[in-house]
Structure 1
Amino acid sequence: MTFLIILTVLIALLYTGLPMFAGMFLFSVGILFWVEGGVPTLGETILGHLDGYLLVAIPLFMLMSHFMVRGKVVDDLYAAAHTFLRHIPGGLGIATVFACAVFAAISGSSVATALTIGAVAIPQMLKYGYSPRGAYGVVAGGGTLGILIPPSAPMVLYGVASDTSVGALFMAGVIPGILLAAIFAAYCFFTEGRREAKLIAEGTFVRPARASLREMGHAIKRSFWALTLPPFVLGGMYFGIFTATEAAATGALWALLIAAFIYRQVGPKQIWEGGQEAARISAVLFMIIVSAGLFGHMLTKLHVPDQLVAWVVENNVSRTQFLILMMLLLFVLGLILESFSIILITTPVILPVLAQLDIDRVWYGVMLTINLELALISPPVGMNLIVIRSITGAPLVEVDKAAIPYMGMMALAIGIIMLWPQLALWLPGTMQLGN
């Protein structure tokens, strides 16, 4: 198919060392010159893809994440999770998953979640007898929750590219995110619980006692303000108080107040650094958006979306068959491309097919996001694996092996969401929607 040929050539071009945005931009311009003899609407195309109110949410969510990371709230989050769960078999691993889930709702970044939680949790798990592979795996898997549990920059980008409500996408990620965290926690309960039982029988391990009410109260008190951010942002969107962009702005302000006045870790210098970091990352992302927008424009001129729809109709491809093929393609792309590029390259092509097969764009967006998470822990270059190696200094092959069970669990989660769409669609259907 034309799209696969174009995609193969583009990937080959990117492997020459060109930055992603430059490769897509130059490739698209070259094809348009070849097909049409010029790009008369280049300026309009660029401005059209940047002239979106929703895009403002991306640097604001990054700013919110920066303030909470600089505020060092993760120590209290992990301590609270450990206090409540330490007496359960596999309690440290479950506490790590819980801390990852909560921090994901604060940071919106899988890499930041793996880095921040991993730096605290891995030494604790190793101290209490976890195998290195068990400790690395739970942080690798739990860290991926960063882009599924809202807020999520990839979801914002997909919402812009597919003209889908970002508020609906955020709400759609909540139940699948909880489901995935529960699957991870259950895995820790059974695998680490079995290991702990063996050590207890040998007399080499004593499971920590259940926390007292006083300890629980102290843990809640210390982590209270950090725990207010997720319901503040998500609750505001769910009840229609503000849109996703307004949620990003108010969330960033709330995070700043918590970090500056409760934790007293953020001052004028950190605010300036946070603004610089958000601007730098957003500028790179916006360049990718422009180049991917031009790439999509080129594909439209070549009638690639129409060809894909015709292929689906001619071969009588069912909805399930198409989704399985797309999940496989997205997984392969995730091994060689980063998530933003995957979203912007594939979304314009498949939108007509989603309409043809009556596939809900919110439902597809959740499965897309889980697949992008899967890429983050897929060897050889999953970003979360590299982060864990940087924290621990462990051989990358050992970290890779630790992630394999979690890859299987994420594939299982995609299958569950595919079979039961309402897991993703029920919550958005009950909310007051806004972009």
Structure 2
Amino acid sequence: MEPLSLGLLVAVMTIVVLFSGVSVASGLLIVSAGFLLVFDGMRSLELMPEIFFGKLNSFALLSIPMFIIMGAAISSTRAGADLYEALERWLTRVPGGLVMSNLGACALFSAMSGSSPATCAAIGKMGIPEMRKRGYPDEVASGSIAAGGTLGILIPPSVTMIVYGIATETSIGRLFLSGVMPGLMLVGLFMAWSIFQTWRFGSPEVLAQRSYTLKQKLEILPRVIPFIIIIIGVLYAMYGGIATPSETAAVGALMCLVIAMVIYKLWSPKKLWTILSDSTRESVMILFIIGAAGVFSYMLSSLYITQSIAAWISDLDVNRWVLMGIVNLFLLVAGFFLPPVAVILMAAPILLPIILAADFDPYWFAVILTINMEIGLISPPVGLNLYVINSIAPDIPLKKILMGSLPYVGCMVLAIVILCFFPGIVTWLPDLVMGPV
């Protein structure tokens, strides 16, 4: 069978298997084993364990469970609520300040946890009831938190960026820096839309302002500043040449645990055990997908599917931007059905040679890919953040949450367009700190 026809068959079978309800990792292993057995014989099956564990034999992978522990420690405390309350006190006189407070808290919490669902849950538990109480429409209250939560996979430290770096063998430190300016740009676009929404829905209830004294504004800061210091310290250690990303992640995880115990009195062994057990569960899930994706990539390469697809796309007589448009459409559709980690591990090794051949920067592409994955987090049928918000506020129909998040999807699409015209937004900071590639 021709490699391209075989590739189409692999794609169809992968979709069928994943939609059968099995886990992503198990589905990739089943498809890989089946095609290797049929088209390459038993010899290839003998290599599967070696490939699986070989993919996990990387020191860089240590940063994944460490950053997950860092996020879990923060998520188990009132840090999200304190962030929200601090920003709400300082932005109370700004039109739309409550929504902006939630978005700002999402951005800061994302930088500490690196997790979109955790950000939605932590900020949403405080922000959604407060916005509804002040008279904001349900769509605005739920949609802003759902969208703000997506920043967790773009603003560093991001587990998604780590996975991309491992899958494509690119610098994780440079990837982190590449996400900073686009992340801030997205926060700005989200806030701009929030101000417009507040003006559009403007009513006495929505525009009502609470008054806080300077003392009240300052008294909340000691509970927030330590976590911000950790973020700055982690980034300084990484880019100051003091430690590798994995070592920095380990120190950051330890410091977050210490702060959670000292500031938030998280002394209970049961609670600490919950943090570690939940982190272990999530880490194993991600690492299992990484190992399975390594086997899947080997199967595609062994059957010459990857090479044939790359050659076919390279031979297409189309403008490089048309090619990028096709790639974006593919990523967008894939993000509707699969989690970001799975899409990156399956697609990045195939797409990267094509991107490089079209003279696009791999770090710029990482940001474009990540924003596409952000859109998938608030788009059905998977739309993980939509369901997290629905679990926080079950009386808000899923349809309203979706309608509230759609304008932020437009902001993300606009961000992709802006980055296409001004790629320097991505590359400026990495080049400044680490030098040109």
Tell me which interval the TM-score lies in, with the shorter structure as reference length: over 0.9
1:120 aligned counterpart, secondary structure: helix
Partner in structure 1 of residue 28 of structure 2: 24
Partner in structure 2 of residue 417 of structure 1: 419
Partner in structure 1 of residue 375 of structure 2: 374
TM-score by length of structure 2 reads: 0.94
Unaligned runs of 5+ in 1: none
Partner in structure 2 of residue 277 of structure 1: 278
1:374 aligned counterpart, secondary structure: helix
Equivalent AA in structure 2 for residue 268 of structure 1: P
Are residues 1:6 and 2:42 paired? no
Aligned residues: 428
Equivalent AA in structure 2 for residue 161 of structure 1: A
In 1: Cα distance, 2:412 partner to 2:267 partner: 36
Partner in structure 1 of residue 227 of structure 2: 226
Change (3 A) 1:79 1:44: same
Equivalent AA in structure 2 for residue 226 of structure 1: F
1:240 aligned counterpart, secondary structure: coil
Task: Please tell me whether the aligned partners of residues 69 and 253 of structure 2 are also in contact (alpha carbons under 8 angstroms).
Answer: yes
Task: Please tell me whether the aligned partners of residues 297 and 349 of structure 2 are also in contact (alpha carbons under 8 angstroms).
Answer: yes
Partner in structure 1 of residue 70 of structure 2: 64
Change (3 A) 1:178 1:280: same
Equivalent AA in structure 1 for residue 401 of structure 2: V
Work out which of the residue numbers 43, 49, 53 in structure 2 matches 1:47. 53
Task: Please tell me whether the aligned partners of residues 106 and 230 of structure 1 are also in contact (alpha carbons under 8 angstroms).
Answer: yes
Partner in structure 1 of residue 240 of structure 2: 239
**Cα shift at 1:314:** 2.0
Identity %: 37
Task: Please tell me whether the aligned partners of residues 13 and 31 of structure 2 are also in contact (alpha carbons under 8 angstroms).
Answer: no
Q: What do residues 217-258 of structure 1 show as CA deviations (whole Å, max 9, x unaligned)?
A: 223233222322221222222222222111211110110111
For structure 1, which segment, 299-308 or 365-374, has the greater mean C-alpha deviation from structure 2 after superposition? 299-308
Partner in structure 1 of residue 162 of structure 2: 156
Task: Please tell me whether the aligned partners of residues 81 and 122 of structure 2 are also in contact (alpha carbons under 8 angstroms).
Answer: no
Partner in structure 1 of residue 409 of structure 2: 407
Q: What do residues 49-104 of structure 1 show as CA deviations (whole Å, max 9, x unaligned)?
A: 01011111111111011111112211211111001111111010000000000000
Q: CA RMSD in A?
A: 1.7
**Cα shift at 1:214:** 2.6
**Cα shift at 1:326:** 1.3
Task: Please tell me whether the aligned partners of residues 377 and 385 of structure 2 are also in contact (alpha carbons under 8 angstroms).
Answer: yes
TM-score by length of structure 1 reads: 0.94
In 1: Cα distance, 2:416 partner to 2:239 partner: 24
Partner in structure 2 of residue 93 of structure 1: 99
Q: What do residues 1-25 of structure 1 show as CA deviations (whole Å, max 9, x unaligned)?
A: 4434422221112222222211111
Q: What do residues 354-388 of structure 1 show as CA deviations (whole Å, max 9, x unaligned)?
A: 22122221111111111111100002330110011
1:216 aligned counterpart, secondary structure: helix
1:92 aligned counterpart, secondary structure: helix
1:415 aligned counterpart, secondary structure: helix
In 1: Cα distance, 2:206 partner to 2:32 partner: 61
**Cα shift at 1:327:** 1.2
**Cα shift at 1:211:** 4.2
**Cα shift at 1:213:** 3.0
Work out which of the residue numbers 183, 198, 201 in structure 1 matches 2:189. 183
1:431 aligned counterpart, secondary structure: helix
In 1: Cα distance, 2:364 partner to 2:206 partner: 45
